[in-house]
Amino acid sequence: MSLGESSRRDAATRAHVERATPAAQPELTAFLRLSMDERWVLEAPRAMADRRLRTGAERFALALEDLLTLPADQPVLAEGPWFFPEFVAPLLSERRRAVWLVPTLAFKRASAARRDKPTIRHATSDPARATRNWLQRDLLLNAHVRQQTAANQLTLIEVDGTRSPEDTASLLAGHFELVAATR
């Protein structure tokens, strides 16, 4: 990810947080009131995953508002941790118009170590536990995405590190070229 992409995602996150209201986004605003320990150390990974799914629904609605402001005559690539298959599937005109990338456990661990993730651990009283909880939460969410892509007949690509980023990008480009060619 380039710095520009990271900055745009951070800006979108800030904008969503600023637009969130307790009435429209009760789960997200409740999450934002939690301390870092309450978010990452004290809560069990299953509860953390369940919370992400609930806040994900609220964040997805905010992301849709953003997407609807874009020109309709241009392709859009939207990504984020709140684009769960069960939220996206009902909006697709064709199932092939969406792809989910899900890392294997080994790739997730290697990527986290290489990128010094999760950075949130430094803001907690128990960085090791926060890291374990974060990883376990993400594995539960990955299992959820695998189950939901299968249930909704959507495309999933497992990322295990055997493909270079360029090869993965080519695979995705090829997938979407096939979708465009059959329209």
Domain count, the chain: 1
Instruction: Give residue 11's domain range.
Output: 3-181
Contacts of 66 (CB under 8 A, 6+ apart): 12, 15
The H or E element containing residue 156 is: strand 155-159
- Please report which helix (H) or strand (E) contains residue 80, including its range: none
SS3 35: coil
Q: Which amino acid is at 16?
A: H
pLDDT tens digit at each of 183 positions of the chain: 444 445 666 787 888 889 999 999 999 999 999 999 999 999 999 999 999 999 999 999 999 999 999 988 887 788 888 899 999 999 998 888 899 999 999 999 999 999 999 999 999 999 999 999 999 999 999 999 999 999 999 999 999 999 999 999 999 988 888 766 665
In angstroms, the CA 8 to CA 14 distance is 10
C-alpha 49: how far from chain center:
12
Q: What are 99's two structure tokens?
A: 């792809």
| Whole-number pLDDT of residue 177 | 82
**Which helix (H) or strand (E) segment is 103 a member of?**
strand 99-103
- Structural contact between residues 11 and 106, judged by C-beta atoms closer than 8 angstroms: no
Helix, strand, coil percentages in the chain from 3-state DSSP, rounded to 5: 65, 5, 30
Q: The whole model's pTM is what?
A: 0.87
- Residue 76 is predicted with a pLDDT of 79
- Whether the CB-CB separation of 27 and 58 falls below 8 Å is answered with yes
